[in-house]
Structure 1
Amino acid sequence: MLTFIASILILIFGYMTYGKVVERIFGADDLRKTPAYTKQDGLDYSPMSWWKGSLIQLLNIAGLGPIFGAVLGALYGPVAFIWIVVGAIFAGAVHDYFAGMMSLRHKGAQYPTIVGKYLGKHAQVAINIISIALMILVAAAFTAGPAELIAQISPLTFTAAIVLVFFYLFIAALLPINKIIGKIYPFFGAVLLFMAVAIGFGMFFSFEQSIPNLTFENLHPEGLPIWPLLMVTISCGAISGFHSTQSPIIARTIKKETEGRKVFYGAMIGEGVITLIWAAAGMTFFGNAGGLQEAIAAGGAAGVVNEISQSTLGMLGGILAIFGVIILPITTGDTALRSSRMMLSELLSETTKLNFSGNKAKLLLVVPVAIPTFLLTQIDYSFLWRYVGWTNQVVATVMLWTAAVYLLKQAKFHWICSVPATFMTAVTATYIFYAPEGLGLDYSLSMVLGGLIWVVVIMWFVKRILQEKHQNYSNAPQPNVKEVSN
């Protein structure tokens, strides 16, 4: 119990202290006009109050990610608390802040465009493909789940439910941000917070067991290794590359730069709190990790959420669980579709030198991403989610390296980004070699190969540091030789 309470307090303290450090290093400046005003178009660029932006950002980046991921991560035991707290403060919130603020500084640019500017065109091409693929996977995964539940509780078939959900996604991805997202998503974000807080209080009064205190022991029933699986299982709530694709949506609505800490850094800390609550609930409600695993096997993560909600909050909990499993993923799906449309627009505009900002062009750009998304909804949900996990963390790692190079070029303290980038490089490299959805190699061999990739990336960044130092020295004014001799 003390570990859980301390974790919540540390997250809040991290926002109040480290969040200000990150903001100061970045150099937020309210004298700069934001894209919400300089490029105001009534569609994507539109000024919005920071509290609305914060709730929409929370809903966009969260959905059911911090709930389902936390439940699955709870199988490892209280060691998950450490990853959530440390990851959210020093990696995830930093990642989200720079993803949003760098987009804001670059006129609301999408994530791949920013990557291209600081890591080169080859990196931009690769991350464009990976990011759009991630958006399609997320939209498909967060559409199939709600449609399946709608089919279970209504006369609609699964296919009819998919069509219904897709109709909404299509419309929401095209309408101006202040028509649907700006009006009702703050309410949905508030519901997400209320749901988590209610479960949090319920743990103190309804659960038979108390929340376990910290132990470094791996409690996973199948003995799966903590490294690197925990860092991918719990992505939303600690660090998630999906957030870097969502932050530019809100970056185009920010009124002044100092609101960025509240919106981007703050929303990530809020998601960390939600993740802590659901991880603690998963560890506690079913008695032990074995009981939780049996519950997951019987009804999946959605079944676990439903059982905890109904048992803790009664009828209200059941309503919230159904609302959460249907509405929250749909809101993430539509912003994923919106982001992919924006990325495709920037990519085509840059490669063809044509203007894809008109309403007709936006309509056409939704189609190429909507079709594969619809087809993928016919595939098993668990299969989709596994691939969402590792592509998600690859995108996060690239964003952190992009931010590190940005700070390096600005001659600022790049370590706030390069250290978590180094850590996540080791995580993703090892995971891709070891995981079943990767190459499925032996664990020891995966550690060695992942370590080799890690060394190569470190050598690349050290080279960048030396290049920047040499360039700064070359550009510095040289003393006059005659004046020196005199």
Structure 2
Amino acid sequence: MLSLTIALLALIVGYFLYGKFVEHVFQPDDRPTPAVSMADGVDYIVMPTWKVFMIQFLNIAGTGPIFGAIMGAWYGPAAYLWIIFGCIFAGAVHDYFSGMLSVRHGGANLPELVGIYLGDGTRKVMLFFSVILLMMVGVVFVLSPALILGDFCLSKTAWIIIIFVYYVLATMLPIDKIIGKIYPVFAFALLFMAVALLACLFFKMPQLPEVWTDLSNYTSSHESEKLLGTIAYFKRNPLFPCLFLTIACGAISGFHGTQSPLMARCMKSEKSGRQVFYGSMITEGIVAITWASVSMYFFYYGGWRSVVDPNIVNTFLSQFDKPDGQTLVQFFSAPKVVEYVCVGWLDIFGGILAVFGVVAAPITSGDTAFRSARLIIAAALGLSQKSIRKRLYIAIPMFLVAILMLIWQIDDPNGFNTIWNWFGWSNQSLAVFTLWTITVYLVRKGKPYWVSLLPAVFMTTVCFTFLLVSEQAFGSWIPRHYGYAFGLASIIVSIVWFAVWFRKNRTASRH
């Protein structure tokens, strides 16, 4: 519990200290924001700061800080360190600058910002990359809430249809008609879930691994608990770099950069940027820390026995010794962990409200993912979105493609995990582009560019190494030590590339 307490305090202190420093680096002022100067009644609309914060938080939260933290808990207390340092020094920096650069450039979307600072060729790559990622987000965030709701009423398919219909409406209508009205309710449910589970953790005081705990010697009196599958899991997904992709939204996420322009078009003042962008990321980090702690107790210390129906436990144990038997991480998927913990710890009413918050998170990220994709495509085509007819030109083919992606994974028992893994890599790769964009901006403005350079180099290495090390990519073809060697080389290459560019840029600025 000491590591959890320190982690929470670190995130809060990080907001007030490092967040203030990051704001000072950018230097927001009183110039008119796009919501004021470009108001169109559809996407550019002034909204109260508290509502903009709520929407931003829900936009970026999704299931990332929940499901990602649950799966990341298999790496033990290292998850704490990544969430703390990643959130304060990488994720919140990424979100703040991507949002504020959008404000300064008339609400420009992420590919446009990348084009301004990294060139038109990179903009085109980002355009394709962003749309594909947003489509994946929308599809993932259709399936995950449907999996949870399907256990309460109706069927998984029925919920998929209902959620998809909602996505169409939220994507097409002005942002204040649906999103601006229902997000505060969803935000309350999600925040209630996080606060309630934190209260349970401090009230129950369950056994949790500390940062200094050595889980490699983890043992249990029950044979089935000695063989939870962690050895096989780590062989396929080594801590570096896989932890840094598994826990994405709770630490740093490129998806956030696609969402920040939505709220950049609704802010009345630049000076609310730290609350809206940096603050939302810190809040998401708190949600991730909460679920990482709950999950470490659930998996490592038998917490699943206290909240799961005994018949389900017996089903798991009975098939454990079979050749095709599942490990704990496979049997209790992330959506199931959410359902069992919320209902088991918070009883029926609290559990339903908590589950509602967890369900609301992906739904409210899925709708804005599709909305962002529509706006990015419209900007690339130069197509005004004030007319609903022109919105349909983009929305119809976009949703048809999304339906095909959904059909591809809906009946695949491992479909969610597969698309999540590649979503994680695509997500962090998008963050790499954004961090380098921010770095170029800071260099050109003569500001302390190291605030984004360090996380840019680190995340570049993480994404490149994953392709060569993880068995989900090319790790089964390449000896792992070669993969790590090339990963180390990517650090050197990126630093040398930046140094050459920096020297050239500085020389050009003097002339």
Q: Same fold (TM over 0.5)?
A: yes
The amino acid that maps onto 1:373 is A
Q: Distance in 1 between matches of 2:25 and 2:358?
A: 39
Deviation at 1:153, TM superposition (A): 3.4
Q: Distance in 2 between matches of 1:460 and 1:290?
A: 48
Equivalent residue for 1:360, pick from 385, 389, 394: 389
- Which shifted more, 197-206 or 271-280? 197-206
Deviation at 1:462, TM superposition (A): 1.1
Deviation at 1:402, TM superposition (A): 0.3
Query: 1:283: which partner in 2?
Result: 296
Query: 2:444: which partner in 1?
Result: 409
- Which shifted more, 415-424 or 144-153? 144-153
Deviation at 1:290, TM superposition (A): 11
The amino acid that maps onto 1:2 is L
Query: 2:473: which partner in 1?
Result: 438
Equivalent residue for 1:331, pick from 357, 364, 372: 364
Distance 1:217 1:397, change over 3 A: farther
Equivalent pairs: percent with the same residue?
42
Does the aligned pair in 1 maintain the 2:190–2:360 contact within 8 Å?
Answer: no
Deviation at 1:291, TM superposition (A): 6.8
Distance 1:174 1:213, change over 3 A: same
Q: Distance in 1 between matches of 2:505 and 2:215?
A: 43
Q: Distance in 2 between matches of 1:216 and 1:45?
A: 50
> What whole-Å deviation, never above 9, does each CA across 1:273-294 have from its counterpart, x for those lacking one?
1111111111123443897995
1:57-76 → structure 2 map (5 Å cutoff): 57-76=56-75
Pair 1:466 & 2:503 matched: yes
Q: Distance in 2 between matches of 1:147 and 1:282?
A: 21
Q: Distance in 1 between matches of 2:468 and 2:449?
A: 29
Pair 1:238 & 2:251 matched: yes
Q: Distance in 1 between matches of 2:148 and 2:2?
A: 37
Q: Distance in 1 between matches of 2:148 and 2:450?
A: 45
Query: 2:19: which partner in 1?
Result: 19
1:66-465 → structure 2 map (5 Å cutoff): 66-156=65-155, 158-206=156-204, 209-215=206-212, 217=214, 219=216, 220-222=230-232, 223=234, 224-288=237-301, 294-349=327-382, 355=384, 357-378=386-407, 379=409, 380-440=415-475, 441-465=478-502
Q: Distance in 1 between matches of 2:370 and 2:104?
A: 23
Unaligned runs of 5+ in 2: 217-229, 306-325, 410-414
The amino acid that maps onto 1:44 is D
Deviation at 1:161, TM superposition (A): 3.1
Does the aligned pair in 2 maintain the 1:145–1:325 contact within 8 Å?
Answer: no
> What whole-Å deviation, never above 9, does each CA across 1:135-189 have from its counterpart, x for those lacking one?
0111001102223444443344x44432222111011011111111111102211
Q: Distance in 2 between matches of 1:148 and 1:312?
A: 20
> What whole-Å deviation, never above 9, does each CA across 1:294-347 have from its counterpart, x for those lacking one?
543223111111111122111124313542453321111101000000110111
3-state DSSP of counterpart to 2:212: coil
Deviation at 1:211, TM superposition (A): 2.8
Q: Distance in 1 between matches of 2:91 and 2:149?
A: 33
Unaligned runs of 5+ in 1: 475-486
Deviation at 1:450, TM superposition (A): 2.2
Q: Give the RMSD, CA atoms, in angstroms.
A: 1.9
Q: Distance in 2 between matches of 1:153 and 1:289?
A: 25
> What whole-Å deviation, never above 9, does each CA across 1:4-49 have from its counterpart, x for those lacking one?
11111111111001101111111111x2100000100111100111
Query: 1:43: which partner in 2?
Result: 42
Distance 1:289 1:424, change over 3 A: farther
Query: 1:484: which partner in 2?
Result: none
3-state DSSP of counterpart to 1:104: helix
3-state DSSP of counterpart to 2:44: coil
The amino acid that maps onto 2:9 is L
Deviation at 1:420, TM superposition (A): 0.8
> What whole-Å deviation, never above 9, does each CA across 1:234-265 have from its counterpart, x for those lacking one?
11110000100001000100111110000000
3-state DSSP of counterpart to 2:333: helix
Q: Distance in 1 between matches of 2:437 and 2:204?
A: 46
- Which shifted more, 329-338 or 139-148? 139-148
Query: 1:482: which partner in 2?
Result: none
Distance 1:289 1:445, change over 3 A: farther
3-state DSSP of counterpart to 1:347: helix
Distance 1:294 1:306, change over 3 A: farther
Q: Distance in 1 between matches of 2:370 and 2:274?
A: 26
The amino acid that maps onto 2:20 is K
Q: Distance in 1 between matches of 2:255 and 2:182?
A: 22
The amino acid that maps onto 2:16 is M
The amino acid that maps onto 1:5 is T
Q: Distance in 1 between matches of 2:102 and 2:135?
A: 21
3-state DSSP of counterpart to 1:377: helix
Distance 1:320 1:256, change over 3 A: same
> What whole-Å deviation, never above 9, does each CA across 1:364-400 have from its counterpart, x for those lacking one?
1112221121111121212211111000000011100
Deviation at 1:216, TM superposition (A): 6.7
- Which shifted more, 276-285 or 85-94? 276-285
Distance 1:218 1:257, change over 3 A: farther
Q: Distance in 2 between matches of 1:163 and 1:402?
A: 38
Q: Distance in 2 between matches of 1:255 and 1:285?
A: 44
- Which shifted more, 147-156 or 432-441? 147-156
3-state DSSP of counterpart to 1:311: helix
Q: Distance in 2 between matches of 1:95 and 1:188?
A: 25
- Which shifted more, 247-256 or 373-382? 373-382
> What whole-Å deviation, never above 9, does each CA across 1:413-435 have from its counterpart, x for those lacking one?
11101111011111111012222
Does the aligned pair in 2 maintain the 1:242–1:396 contact within 8 Å?
Answer: yes
